[in-house]
Amino acid sequence: MTAPATGLATAAEPEGFAVVCEGVWLIAGFARPQRMLSWAPYRPGYQVATRVAWLEVRNRDLGPDVDAAAFLAERLRARGLGSAIGLMTSTCLADHCRATARRDGVTARCLVTLGLGNAERVGSRRPQPAGKPAVGTVNLLCHVDRALTDAALLEAVSVAVAARTAAILEASYRPAGATGPATGTGTDCIVIACPAEGAPDAPPECYAGMHTAVGEAIGAAVLAATGQAAAGWLQRYGPEARAQATAEIG
């Protein structure tokens, strides 16, 4: 469900994250450091962090002469989020969606923002209109309450990508000029998080594929949150409004 929140992201769930949505910021905060893997524009790759932060922007914020990565880094540091994993989107942050899935004692939680104004079908690229770039992206965080090895984190990312793609395919959105239904956008980003340390009697999980409880929980949480977010976007920006959404809302 869509779940805006207020206050500071400090009172995190013991095994999950607290969510704060204030103005142009959406912040997921953990009570303890987590290992994270992503291709986020700020602090990508393998990292340890306690927060993941989204910044909402508009076309006017990112002109042709603006270095988007430097812009995001400056805004994060000014907000006291220099140690966070940083994401950026034109999607309305108040429309974020969350889902939780539990499988055989493993819990996964997903937080997603979604806009399909920049939608693409994998294996093709739509022409970008001059002076009117398409915007919008799918940014998601999925946390699983089991420590994972480096390889398992990579496998968890692959499961989350598959779930995101399945959810968008099920939405059956076909943007103008596409060769088939959209499978994502040109700027999607996924962050997978897990505890930085496992329980004393439980070493990190070595596998996170779809035959494991870890992979099943991650897939179910991402599928549910992304599916709800896609349905909400299509409801808000139906066929008659998609041209405007592509131009500004995302």
* Higher pLDDT among residues 13 and 235, named by residue: 235
pTM of the model: 0.88
Mean pLDDT over each residue of the chain, to the nearest integer? 87
Cα first-last separation, the chain? 20
Q: What is the pLDDT of residue 134?
A: 64
pLDDT tens track for 68-95: 899 999 999 999 999 999 999 999 999 9
Does the pLDDT value for residue 6 go beyond 70?
Answer: no
Give the mean model confidence (pLDDT) for residues 105-126: 93
Percent of the chain whose predicted confidence (pLDDT) is above 90: 71
Q: What is the pLDDT of residue 22?
A: 95
Phi, psi dihedrals of residue 221, rounded to the nearest 5°: -65, -45
Q: What is the pLDDT of residue 250?
A: 44
Instruction: Write down all domains in the chain, each with its CATH number in brackets.
Output: 18-249 (3.60.70)
Does the pLDDT value for residue 174 go beyond 60?
Answer: yes
Do residues 24 and 81 touch, judged by C-beta distance below 8 A?
A: no
